[in-house]
Structure 1
Amino acid sequence: MSMEFVITWLAVMLPLIFSPGPANVTFAAAGASLGVRQSLPLLAGIDFIFILKGFVVGFGLMTWFIDYPVSLRALQVCGVIYLVYLAYSFAKPSKLQGQSGVPKISIWNGMVIQILNVKGWIITFTMFSVFAPNLETESAVSILTLIVMMAILNISTHFCWIAFGGWLGKISANRKSQKMRGMFFL
């Protein structure tokens, strides 16, 4: 694999993976609400499924979605419903939660988010269609290399989203920031 290939791959994949989407926005919200450490199970769940998507798509699922496009639409609808549920659980008042006010998030939440994340599926399909257009003739090593590259990029950018959310949470928690926000929204 040449350096030119890696640079081209990064030029295509970095904007796709780093851009705001359901998982990245959830990472920022979790970082702001829970902090970096408590958001790590979410990262583990989402990135585990992202890696699994790489294996599934790299070794044959793309043809199934092409043959049954309604399945992609069903995935989108389920994803939206689950994200609305998660947004509600982050936003509802702590009195209604019956907890200490901070929602708990687990590896399972991350797995469900990523299974239903159509953007994640499209990113994976895009990577293989651009960088391994003839999957049936590609070597397993080439497919595995793309999956590893995607995993490294995903984990690092997702951690950035969590850290950014954590930083925003800290900034918005101080009284001066709250006062300025109150004046701005009056």
Structure 2
Amino acid sequence: MSLFIIWLGVMFPLVFSPGPANIVFAMSGAKVGVKRSIPLLAGVDSVFIVKSIIVGFGLGEVVRSQPTLMNTIQLLGSVYLLYLAITFISSHTTKLEGTTETLGFVDGLLVQVLNSKGWLMVFLMFTLFTEQSQETFGQNGIIVLIVWLAILNISMHFIWISIGELLSRVSSSKVYEKALNFFYSGCLALVAIWLIIENPMVIEFISRT
């Protein structure tokens, strides 16, 4: 229990903080509701589980030793997030009109595969807690951490989707809904631009020019 409390104290803020995936979840919840956002959630969290398995059982060191690969993934992911933000901003079809585009399983896969911050979060978890988990649970320590993270991710992602849906129900005004759409899209665009600007490949390119 003490290990779980310490683990939760570290991982909860990281999982619940408004990162790229959580903003996308809120956007999807506002657009299509919780039920139709489940495929998106399944895509994101499937990749998270795979990342946890890769890193937890040692293959993550191969990824960690290739900084160029990580930087390329981050750059591609940032561009994709910017594309999603522009798509949502340019969309004039609202939830009130009954027909709106749904982000699905494949979108969830792309969002999380190209999310380098997700890799770093998983690396951090296993760096901090692998030894303690194995002392507590023996050989099953890694599996326990993977299960804990999967449960935390799925539950927090449902909360973000629900928050988006709840905010979309506050008012039936199309002006309010359009403003909310711009807010989500703007947040996602800012995150994408920030990730692009801080990318080492971009920094190196700018310094050379």
TM-score by structure 2 length? 0.75
Q: Percent identity?
A: 42
Indicate the larger mover: 100-109 or 155-164: 100-109
5+ residue gaps, structure 2: 181-209
Conserved 8 A contact 1:47-1:154: yes
Letter in 1 for 2:11: M
In 1: Cα distance, 2:27 partner to 2:91 partner = 15
Residue of structure 2 aligned with 1:76, choices 68, 74, 77: 74
Secondary structure at 2:59 match in 1: helix
Aligned-residue offset at 1:65: 2.8
TM-score by structure 1 length? 0.84
Letter in 2 for 1:32: A
Runs of 4+ residues deviating >6 angstroms: none
5+ residue gaps, structure 1: 182-186
Correspondences of 1:31-70 after superposition (within 5 Å): 31-70=29-68
Indicate the larger mover: 65-74 or 141-150: 65-74
Matching of residue 173 in structure 1 with residue 172 in structure 2: yes
Letter in 1 for 2:173: N
In 2: Cα distance, 1:45 partner to 1:131 partner = 26
The count of corresponding residues between Structure 1 and Structure 2 is 174
Conserved 8 A contact 1:94-1:102: no
Cα RMSD between the aligned structures?
2.7
Match of residue 108 from structure 1: 106
- Spell out, residue by residue over 1:72-96, the C-alpha distance to the aligned partner (whole angstroms, 9 max, x if none): 110110110111111222221347x
In 1: Cα distance, 2:84 partner to 2:26 partner = 13
The 1:58–1:162 alpha-carbon spacing in structure 2 relative to 1, beyond 3 Å, is same
In 2: Cα distance, 1:147 partner to 1:42 partner = 20
Match of residue 17 from structure 1: 15
